[in-house]
Amino acid sequence: MLKADSTYGKTRIWLVNIAKEASLCRAKYLYLLTPPELEKSNKFRKPSDSDRYIVTRVIVRLILASYVGLKPEDLQFSKNTAGKPELAGGPHFNLSHAGEYIVLACSTAPVGIDLEFVNQEFRYEDILATCFKSNEQQVIGNDENPRRAFYYAWTRKEAVLKKEGLGISENLPGVDISSRDGLINLDVDAKHVLALAYDGKYPPAQIRSFTLS
């Protein structure tokens, strides 16, 4: 269970395994969802999509509540001018999900995180020209593992845009990730990679796993 040691001054990355937390979230924490969220959770066709939706909303509230010393149900969220969610009186945060996991980044300053499942069947070559500059394409193509290099580059671009509160589809090709401070890739496991864009004053600590049990 999460300890109340999530202090400001660092950028933390929380990792959640969706399947491991879904049953307990449904059994004990559905009260944290708003009525519209509960209604939406029941409309998913796939149980796995409903699980992800519920676990995300429960875990985000539990973790952020530990930063501000409030009950999870008392948190007040809003959106900035770019539509990015914010927590009144709390840390900056950003989240992403892919495959088996949810990741949540929290920091004193604006932060962006992107998690991707490394799909061995995806034809990433088909979108290189439209999403990456020529020098970026060259770096990816020359890597000993070009597929993983593609996902490293893709997540870095998304993390930067999420940190800055910019739309992905219209801005992704123009993002320069060749020489940017406060931008790193991390391997979650053999099938998942993430990128974190953060303020250099608040370097990230190691990824921390979150569990309710």
Write out pLDDT tens, residues 10-32.
899 999 999 999 999 999 999 99
Q: Which residue has the higher pLDDT, 113 or 180?
A: 113
180/104 Cα distance (integer angstroms): 22
Q: Give the per-residue pLDDT at 181.
A: 87
More confident residue, 169 or 143: 143
Question: Is pLDDT above 80 for 145?
Answer: yes
Whether the Cβ atoms of residue 154 and residue 116 lie closer than 8 Å to each other: yes
Other Cβ atoms closer than 10 A to 74: 9
**What is the band of 129 on the pLDDT scale with cuts at 50, 70, 90?**
very high
Phi, then psi, of 79 in degrees rounded to 5? -125, 140
Q: Where are the domains of the chain?
A: 11-209
Average pLDDT, the chain: 90
The rounded distance, in Å, linking the Cα atoms of 97 and 52 is: 8
Q: What percent of the chain has pLDDT over 90?
A: 73
Confidence (pLDDT) at 80: 78
Q: Is the pLDDT of residue 1 over 50?
A: no
Q: Is the pLDDT of residue 4 over 80?
A: no
CATH 3.40.50.150 fits 11-209, yes or no: no
